Structure 1
Amino acid sequence: MAPGVSFGRTVFRSPLLFSGRVSRPAGRTYRPVAVPPVYRSFQKASAPSKVPDFAFVFDIDGVLLRAATPIPRASEALSLLQSQKIPFILLTNGGGTSEAARVAELSDKLQVPLDLANFVQSHTPFASLEAYKGHGDAKGEAVLVIGGEEGGDVCRKVAESYGFKNVITPGDLYAAHPDLWPFSKHLLEYYRKHSRPLPAPVYRGPHALSPGSDAALRNHLRCTCILVFNDPRDWGLDTTIVTDLLLSHQGYLGTTSPLNNHPSLPNKGYQQDGQPPLYFSNPDLWWAARWHLSRLGQGAFRETLDGLWRSITGGEGNGVILHKEVWGKPTQLTYTFAENVLGSWRGKMLGAGTGCGLEGLRNVYMIGDNPESDIRGANNYQSPNGTSWNSVLVKTGVYLDGSEPSCPPKAIVDDVFSAVEWGMKHSGWK
């Protein structure tokens, strides 16, 4: 069994991370990356003279890539670490595709061979949600996945690779019921190209249920979980479906819970009637895209949904909150998961005989461009192994050079290569 990270009753294990499969496509070769002269002597040695007691964790967007274009000196930074057998992993709040596809793409763009075992996307930990996998096929139970390509089903396929059954998308629901949302008709044909038949019919009876109505709901579509894998594309459609489910009875789309706004119940009865839990894979408000200004991300969608929920329910002043789980950087959960992955990769890279893993790992350098995710997460993280996490902010992404970071890092540098230099010097590596 692969090593895992435990949070209460949930154990985070991902065969994608610990399989040891290398993503290099058959027949593909990588051209040597030019390393600055001052470091060329490192490449001549077969191995460093000692085991490094430090490692690196890299964000991707704004650190290694800007949209799909490599940031200058990113390839050199990773190649240098590989030549010195200094462990690193990639930890991104991005996603929306399979880990294997993303690693192959990064290997190709950066011209550095990477491995599935040192790569974590925002939604990779979703693979641990065993309670929502493969249940109730005969009863029409399904998991709703949101995000990814416009109307496409890439995220659906990723969820299925994690072991989820009966995965549906907003596009499936809209293709089956175009009257569900009146303002995306121009996208209907596109949705139909990627949609699948629903595993059960949607309930279309009286939405106000009375005691004993459960019998009428049997064999209708019931959503057991909502997973926001990636930034939503059609916010109006996605918001409408999520809101319908959060107000539903037992997750049956097309119903309204009789407990909503019940004054004597916790949370005024909202989300107290078996509605599906809501998971977000990351909280990023902004991300560095091809446009010169940062673009709104999944965190903006979450904030929009929070504001809508306050308007619908009377708001927090009425004692109502939106219950949800938010993963990704800067959460403690994601950083603990990442440290576990780093330990596994370090042991594999340096050899089991060295007694590595997380033992003797004194410093981890988190290299990121976003003060609110990369830097805040590293600053706040309390390693159960006593490892010190050091945040290094680069100027090539979300952070605006010359501004005061909302969360101050240990160092601000020009780019990722400078960050690697800073970390190696800080750890006394020569």
Structure 2
Amino acid sequence: MQSFSMGRSFSLLRRLSSSSFPVTHCGRRAFQTSRSLSRVPDFAFAFDIDGVFLRSAKPIPGAAESLALLKQQGIPFILLTNGGGKHETERVAEISEKLRVPLDPSLIVQSHSPFAELVRGPDEQSSLENKSVLVVGGDGDSCRQVAEKYGFKNVITPGDIFMANPAIWPFSKVFHDYYEQFARPLPNPMDPTDPTKGLKVDAIFVFNDPRDWALDTQVILDFLLSSQGVLGTISDKNGRTDLPNRGFLQDGQPPLYFSNPDLWWAAAYHLPRLGQGGFREALDGTWAAVTGGPSKGAELKKTVIGKPHQGTYEFAENQMRRNRLQAFGPTADTPLRNVYMVGDNPESDIQGANTYRSPHGSKWHSLLVRTGVYNGGDPAWTPESILDDVKKAVEYGLKASQWKV
């Protein structure tokens, strides 16, 4: 697995963390309070969403009150989630409605938010703005719509490909009516007589948890085994022992990006459910079965972003610092001393906070709550503290920072 390092990633989050978030609307409204902002907090909070504020779209007790308190006190915070599937403005609007706490889009970083920076690369050749990209995952074509709002102009989904040629995966015919609702004609349909003239994609993005794992696996595999990323072709370099990676992914195939490494997430069911990380592991297994995998010198190269990776946390910290500066003005142009990461998943929230090294010298504290994925016992990554819920976590941070309400 690679993190922000291959293909067109351009050291993705390193570049992102020093730039403005492409879809936020930073401003004083993000931290409007009912009192004079006379004190400038030297600490902040970062929160996961699912399992911390919401459980199956329902508010967790104490969540709304905790956010309202932080807003009233002018204490910076950010919602740092491995979730996605919707545009940031839409996602924040839903959270605001459910918690009854007005929130600004500048306060959220979703798993796929950084993909917006790949629309326009440092030069025309690396830009994906006018090239065809495959977007996988999410309900219907919601992720296609997000990608288009980010600026991608030619977005294709596996459903488009299936509807153009159902034979590509005959076992998805039970989903025909579903795909028919949102599928679009392909810009360059496959020509059975000459596959080299068919559909070409220049990047594959897994934006959100796939719904039809079988079709999505088949389509992604087809592109990764193709010549020059053209659907329906097969590279003659595949399997050659005289080439790096035994010839696999050495023939202009599209880079593969995952937005979320989480194996589990907290849903309505009483036990955690498989997330995007489960799909990635399944794809890894299929790739290994087809190519021999890493043990045979054929690695599935990919870029994985999201918590717990360093770049995601660095981007979130810089977003908080920008918000803080907007709220308080030049007096807040100083590093945060402490940041309290509140999450329910030891292997993303807690691991990320424990391993993150702030370029600004901020100390991150990992606080694990019992309202989501974690259900007791010794967590895979040891937090600074285990607390019942987000309300207790906020109280912990306020007390530790000696902030009197």
TM-score (structure 2 length as normaliser): 0.91
1:146 counterpart = 2:136: yes
Encode CA deviations 1:236-295: one digit per residue, 9 max, x unaligned.
000000000100001000000010001011000000111000000010000000111110
Matching of residue 134 in structure 1 with residue 125 in structure 2? no
Q: CA deviation at 1:189?
A: 1.9
Q: State the partner residue of 1:191.
A: 179
Q: 1:316 to 1:376 in 2, by over 3 A?
A: same
Mapping for residues 89-100 of structure 1, pairs under 5 Å? 89-100=78-89
Q: State the secondary structure of the residue aligned to 2:170.
A: coil
CA distance, structure 1, for counterparts of residue 291 and residue 335 of structure 2: 51
- Cα distance change of structure 1 residues 192 and 336 upon mapping to structure 2, 3 Å threshold: same
Residue type at the aligned position of 1:263: T
Indicate yes or no: 2:15 matched with 1:11.
yes
Distance 1:14 1:47 in 2: 28
Q: Is the 8 A contact 2:164 2:189 kept in 1?
A: no
How many angstroms apart in 2 are the aligned matches of 1:294 and 1:8?
A: 30
Shift of 1:206: 6.4
Is 2:331 the partner of 1:354?
yes
Offset, 1:17: 2.1
Q: What secondary structure sits across from 1:16 in the alignment?
A: coil
The aligned residue for residue 259 of structure 1 is 237
Q: Does residue 1:425 correspond to 2:387, yes or no?
A: no
> Map of 1:25-174 to 2, 5 A cutoff?
46-47=35-36, 49-129=38-118, 130=120, 131-135=126-130, 141-149=131-139, 152-174=140-162
Alignment of 1:314-325 (within 5 A): 314-325=292-303
- 1:275-322, CA deviations, whole angstroms, 9 ceiling, x for partnerless residues? 000000010000000111110000000000111111111122211111
Cα shift at 1:154: 0.7
Between structure 1 and structure 2, the one with the greater Rg is: 1
Deviations along 1:99-132, whole A, 9 cap, x unmatched? 1111000000001010011111000000011234
The structure-2 alpha-carbon separation of the partners of 1:68 and 1:239, relative to structure 1 and needing over 3 Å to count, comes to: same
Matches within 5 A, 1:246-325: 246-325=224-303
Give the TM-score taking structure 1 as reference length. 0.86
CA shift, 1:233, in A, is: 0.2
- 5+ residue gaps, structure 1: 1-5, 24-42, 136-140, 208-216
SS in 2 for 1:302: helix
- Asked whether the equivalents of residues 309 and 352 of structure 2 are also in contact (C-alpha less than 8 Å), the reply is yes
Kept after mapping to 2: 8 A contact 1:18/1:344: no
**Other structure's SS at 1:272 match:** coil
Query: Any unmatched runs of 5+ in structure 2?
Result: 1-9, 121-125
Contact residue 133 and residue 163 of structure 1 kept, 8 A? no
Q: Using the TM superposition, give the Cα deviation of residue 57 of structure 1 relative to its aligned residue in structure 2, in angstroms.
A: 0.4
Aligned partner letter, 1:427? S
Aligned length: 384
Aligned to 1:177: 165
Is the 8 Å Cα contact of residues 85 and 138 (structure 2) preserved in structure 1?
yes
Quick one: structure 1 residues 21 and 176, their matched pair in 2 at CA, closer, same or farther if it must change by over 3 Å? farther
Kept in 2: contact 1:20–1:116 (CA 8 A): no
**Deviation, structure 1 residue 133:** 2.6
Secondary structure, aligned partner of 1:157: helix
Equivalent pairs: percent with the same residue? 57
Distance 1:391 1:10 in 2: 23
Runs of 4+ deviating beyond 6 Å: none
Post-superposition shift, 1:50?
2.4
> Contact (CA 8 Å) 2:342, 2:367: kept in 1 or not?
yes
- The equivalent of 2:3 in structure 1 is none
Asked if 1 retains the 8 angstrom alpha-carbon contact of 2:136 and 2:210, the reply is yes
SS of residue in 2 equivalent to 1:167: strand
Distance 2:21 2:304 in 1: 19
**Cα displacement string for residues 135-188 of structure 1 (whole angstroms, at most 9, x for unaligned residues):** 3xxxxx410000111xx1110010001111110001100111111101111111
Work out whether 1:385 is the aligned partner of 2:326. Answer: no
Q: Relative contact order: is structure 1 or structure 2 higher (C-alpha 8 Å, sep ≥ 6)?
A: 2
Q: Which amino acid aligns with 2:24?
A: L
Aligned to 1:226: 204
Q: Secondary structure at the match of 2:201?
A: strand
CA distances 1:65-120 after superposition (whole Å, capped 9, x unpaired):
00110000000110111111111010100000111111000000001010011111
